[in-house]
Structure 1
């Protein structure tokens, strides 16, 4: 798969906007009716969705309004790696609206920030969108469509080409067999039998979906990113992100890797507000701008590329020279590893975590603890 660059992001947004606005069977409205439905079990007790809400329709309506209006960001590989690392030590934190880089945004990571998740629904997440939702902000994660495409996508596209009654008949026959889920313990002896068992299981799995909505012809969104989940995040004290709605995953299945992804997103937002990060404006190439105009002439074609500044030998957040106030004499210098500091901001009347990058501390003319020779890797 070709790596996505910052200049690709505006056209990705244009394709997503077109999908979000499409009222047909391959648009977001029908996609969410098919895959999510009116009231998934995941939303039981979820305050963001009152009991009478049509959850799938609510998510689709939200995306239809927010994706075209989103400010675009592209997170470099270096900043992605730092956010992933910093997230491992990020403490519970009360998020403020001003911590968001934009009220409505779409952010693409140069590479997936969290790998090896326990649930395949969170693999390859590299795109995040957010905007206002009940209680605070709704954060939606998106992953690239696997290559080669999963069997479920191939079977789904085949079913979508059949007459609806014919497709439903095949799915009901498969469901009536009550076949076990394919697993190593019940693996058929031949490859053809294994393929047949897998196909019938897929047919039975999506019967309920097909009974409530037409099968989307593309099965996975045609813009190239699959919806991985929604986290209605309130501006309140957090421990990871305690709730989420994810297609195909119950609340009980939320794992440590998903929390790691959510904390990494939060760490990225916090880092983007610090001086150790720089941003520059980029724009889609001319050919892409012409294609975007055909989708919607009003869509912005600019994107902010966010990256790390050059490494410094001292932290940049000190407001005064503490060395002049400290009369203690040190016999060595030492390396301070990167860490979060809880900084108080009088303007908001609260603390906010800020990342203190690796730096050399102590007198410059004193030997470094651990030896005088240091190999420094610079970007």
Structure 2
């Protein structure tokens, strides 16, 4: 059987894809009841995890759930999940409509992934509002990235959004009152047509088609906020570790239940090798990816250019009431053509060469910032990218 050919990435095609995906996803959120049904189920599940972790304290669980998504007291009530889901979906559709659009070239995406994997929780404490390229944005990847979540499921992430100003609940005030920290609200979106195809998703997609509202290209996966210049206390980190244990245990129990009822929740189609996905046990990949993207975009190793805009695209955007501009982010320095087979070697992978993460001190700001020095991609474009420490450790 002939190998299926992958459609080549082009700047114009990527720009068209992100414009179309934004409009279709936004309009689905605005009008499709199933979008609210999906969000309601996600809220219920997240609330149940927090209640289990807090041993039945529902008011605190509700505050942590919505306070962690950028909402302030009075929070949407957990006694009316339909109304809460409507609030979240309505807000997300509006934020999606207002976002500035970015697309990553395949090489740039590889570099951002490698950079994100190098970031630690301590590095994320350096995040500040000045790191963001603008108050709101949507960045679309050239392909879905497979990530194993803290709960043990595999997600095919395709886009991320961010928005400021926002805030995150800080429940650690000494007097027990609620406090808030300046933060950025970030959302992750799965690829509706991506390789992850569990039975429950296929049932959901069938129901959406049956109701005349087929699923849009992007599906909202998770919303959370990341505080600016915030250092968690040791006891807070321990609370987070305990919560992640609850998430992992619950995920395993859910998959076991589905398996016992004849449902396959681990189906990934296409050329997928088990255990080849990125692992995200701390539930931080989305913010690590965006932080790496923001820091790299500020450096001279990237180029940012507007995508071509024709009359049809402008008219479509005007009708939807959204901006039509798209910014394409590419790696400035890449290998030259013909370097894929240096010395006649048949290279089986791509890798990031000479990428070093540095916590640079800025005297004028009196603070550190994460910077990356010298990354570029080497190896054949159609080969898999080496990941983890191997990528970050290569020097030549």
Structure 1 residue aligned with 2:158: 126
Structure 2 residue aligned with 1:237: 230
Gap change, CA 1:350 and 1:287, over 3 Å in 2: same
* Alignment RMSD (CA, Å): 3.9
Partner of residue 48 from structure 2, selected from 41, 44, 54: 41
Structure 2 residue aligned with 1:21: 30
Distance 1:265 1:286 in 2: 31
Distance 1:102 1:230 in 2: 19
Structure 1 residue aligned with 2:199: 151
How far is the alpha carbon of 1:80 from its aligned partner? Answer: 1.3
How far is the alpha carbon of 1:16 from its aligned partner? Answer: 2.2
Gap change, CA 1:149 and 1:124, over 3 Å in 2: closer
Structure 1 unaligned blocks of 5 or more: 163-215, 244-248, 313-335, 360-375
Partner of residue 225 from structure 1, selected from 218, 223, 227: 218
Residues 305-324 of structure 1: matches in 2 within 5 Å?
305-311=328-334
Structure 1 residue aligned with 2:380: none
Structure 2 residue aligned with 1:343: 360
* Residues 36 and 85, structure 2, Cα contact 8 Å, conserved in 1: yes
How far is the alpha carbon of 1:258 from its aligned partner? Answer: 4.1
Partner of residue 299 from structure 1, selected from 322, 325, 329: 322
Structure 2 residue aligned with 1:83: 112
Distance 1:222 1:121 in 2: 20
How far is the alpha carbon of 1:60 from its aligned partner? Answer: 1.6
Is residue 95 from structure 1 mapped to residue 132 from structure 2 by the alignment? no
Q: For each residue in 1:324-376, what CA deviation from the matched residue of structure 2 results, as whole angstroms up to 9, or x when unmatched? A: xxxxxxxxxxxx932112222345331111111169xxxxxxxxxxxxxxxx9
Residues 149-228 of structure 1: matches in 2 within 5 Å?
150-156=198-204, 218=213, 222-228=215-221
Q: TM-score, normalising length from structure 1?
A: 0.60
Which structure has the larger Rg over C-alpha atoms? 1
Q: Secondary structure at the match of 2:33?
A: coil
Distance 2:322 2:208 in 1: 31
Q: Which protein, 1 or 2, shows the higher relative CO under an 8 Å CA cutoff with sep ≥ 6?
A: 1
Gap change, CA 1:34 and 1:308, over 3 Å in 2: same
Distance 1:14 1:151 in 2: 27
Distance 1:348 1:78 in 2: 32
Distance 1:161 1:137 in 2: 34
Gap change, CA 1:156 and 1:358, over 3 Å in 2: closer
Q: Secondary structure at the match of 2:111?
A: helix
Q: For each residue in 1:82-137, what CA deviation from the matched residue of structure 2 results, as whole angstroms up to 9, or x when unmatched? A: 12212232242321011112211100011234556675755220200111333311
* Residues 140 and 227, structure 1, Cα contact 8 Å, conserved in 2: yes
How far is the alpha carbon of 1:37 from its aligned partner? Answer: 4.5
Is residue 352 from structure 1 mapped to residue 385 from structure 2 by the alignment? no
Partner of residue 62 from structure 1, selected from 91, 100, 108: 91
Structure 2 residue aligned with 1:264: 289
Q: Secondary structure at the match of 2:96?
A: helix
Gap change, CA 1:35 and 1:102, over 3 Å in 2: same
* Residues 11 and 284, structure 1, Cα contact 8 Å, conserved in 2: no
Structure 2 unaligned blocks of 5 or more: 1-5, 51-60, 78-83, 169-182, 241-245, 252-278, 336-352, 377-394
Structure 1 residue aligned with 2:184: 137
Q: For each residue in 1:249-278, what CA deviation from the matched residue of structure 2 results, as whole angstroms up to 9, or x when unmatched? A: 948769427434532222111111111111
User: How many residues of Structure 1 are paired with residues of Structure 2 in the alignment?
Assistant: 274
Partner of residue 20 from structure 2, selected from 11, 15, 35: 11
How far is the alpha carbon of 1:309 from its aligned partner? Answer: 0.7
* Residues 42 and 251, structure 1, Cα contact 8 Å, conserved in 2: no
